[in-house]
Amino acid sequence: MKSIINSKGQVKISRRRMRKKKKLSRSFGGDAVILVFLLVCGAFTVLPLIYTVVNAFKPLNELFLFPPRFFVRHPTLDNFTTMMQLAGSMWVPFQRYLFNSLFITIVGTVVYVLIASLAAYPLAKHKFPGGMLYFQIIVSAILFRPEVTGITQYIIISKLGMINTYFAILLPVFAGSFGVFLMRQFMVTFPDDSIEAAKIDGAGEYRIFWSIVMPAVKPGWLTLIIFTFQGLWNTTGVSYIYNENMKVLPTVLGQIATAGIARAGAGSAVALFLMIPPIVIFVISQSSVIETMSHTGLK
């Protein structure tokens, strides 16, 4: 049967189509099963975060209980006090380590986002000889883990005289290909008609890039900021940094955490301390991350 129009001009849907429509919609039981499944998956994902937070407030005698507990009977702030006391008793002031981490993280993130965006724009919106070859090389470079290129990077940085400098950590980040790939995927979807219209109005390439393209791909560079920030904040730089004045916060706090069972509580406080900044950045920009995944297919 087909839909018919009555005397009032209203469309009547046939019974067959109505039955088909009902079959396509999920029942209450199906929705409940999906909801329970998602809640279980979410709880499984968040358990390590909860365990890290709980451990930071556990006294030493509760840290080594078996099986592990996801709650604390006698919460205490002694772990944070011990962490600060140990950090303050080092040869170099704690503020110096904090400055090194903040400088490397902030400067590295801002500069890398700019470099990746500037490199992605011509690959996405201009045709030139070897353009697709360059893009394939960039995609292939994502497959190589830092462990594979570590020796080569160390030789290059050593030959350039960058050992015990900030550039020893920043230079490999600036040469990363993931950001170029991510920004290029976003810029490809930007309509060429808008760029042509801007050129007709007299806008140059740099103005088109800064004023038109970059605001349109905001979810892309916000996501890149999150990934780069997390990577730089957690980096230790132990392969290139040997001078105590140049060491970063994760290196020093890691030394505190691995100094024996007596400092296990301080180590738990360290884990929570290092986890807070990336989580804050992610919560602020989580909507952009979700939009980025839907555009690029990242998981």
pLDDT of 230 = 84
Q: Are residues 257 and 145 in the same domain?
A: yes
- List CB contacts of 9: < 8 A, sequence separation 6 or more: none
Q: Are residues 139 and 156 in the same domain?
A: yes
Contact 170, 108 (CB under 8 A): yes
Q: Are residues 119 and 70 in the same domain?
A: no
Is residue 6 included in any domain, yes or no?
Answer: no
Q: Which domain holds residue 180?
A: 84-296
Give residue 88's identity as a one-letter amino acid code.
Answer: G
Is residue 96 included in any domain, yes or no?
Answer: yes
Q: Are residues 62 and 152 in the same domain?
A: no
Q: Are residues 266 and 211 in the same domain?
A: yes
Is residue 7 included in any domain, yes or no?
Answer: no
Is residue 3 included in any domain, yes or no?
Answer: no
Instruction: At 4, give phi and psi (nearest 5°).
Output: -125, 160
Q: Are residues 93 and 236 in the same domain?
A: yes
DSSP string, 12-57: EPPHHHHHHHHHHSPPHHHHHHHHHHHHHHHHHHHHHHHHHHHHHT
pLDDT of 110 = 93
Q: Residue 276's domain is classified under what CATH number?
A: 1.10.3720.10
* Domain count for the chain: 2
Q: Are residues 92 and 68 in the same domain?
A: no
Is residue 13 included in any domain, yes or no?
Answer: no
Average pLDDT rounded to a whole number, residues 37-64: 81
Is residue 99 included in any domain, yes or no?
Answer: yes
The pLDDT of residue 26 is above 70: no
The pLDDT of residue 144 is above 90: no
Q: Which residues of 25-52 are buried (b: 16+ CB within 10 A; e: fewer)?
A: eeeeeeeeeeeeeeeeeeeeeeeeeeee
pLDDT of 215 = 87
- Residue-wise pLDDT tens digits, 222-246: 888 888 988 888 888 888 888 888 8
- Residue-wise pLDDT tens digits, 179-217: 899 888 888 888 888 888 888 888 888 888 888 888 888
Whole-angstrom CA distances from 238 to 105, 115, 150, 165, 277 are 16, 25, 12, 12, 21
The pLDDT of residue 283 is above 80: no
User: Rounded to an integer, what distance in angstroms lies between the CA atom of residue 269 and that of residue 263?
Assistant: 10
User: Rounded to an integer, what distance in angstroms lies between the CA atom of residue 93 and that of residue 88?
Assistant: 6
Q: Are residues 167 and 120 in the same domain?
A: yes
pLDDT of 261 = 67
pLDDT of 287 = 64
Q: Are residues 208 and 95 in the same domain?
A: yes
Q: Are residues 24 and 157 in the same domain?
A: no
- Residue-wise pLDDT tens digits, 239-279: 888 888 888 888 877 777 666 666 777 778 877 877 888 78
Look at strands 11-12 and 4-5 and give their pairing: antiparallel
Burial of 202 per CB tally in 10 Å (0-12, 13-18, 19+): exposed
Q: Are residues 126 and 241 in the same domain?
A: yes
- Residue-wise pLDDT tens digits, 58-115: 887 777 777 777 778 888 888 888 777 777 777 777 788 888 888 999 999 999 999 9
Radius of gyration of the chain, Cα coordinates, nearest whole angstrom: 27
Is residue 11 included in any domain, yes or no?
Answer: no
pLDDT of 3 = 47
pTM greater than the 0.75 cutoff? no
Q: Are residues 24 and 156 in the same domain?
A: no
Is residue 247 included in any domain, yes or no?
Answer: yes
Q: pLDDT band at 16, cuts 50/70/90?
A: low
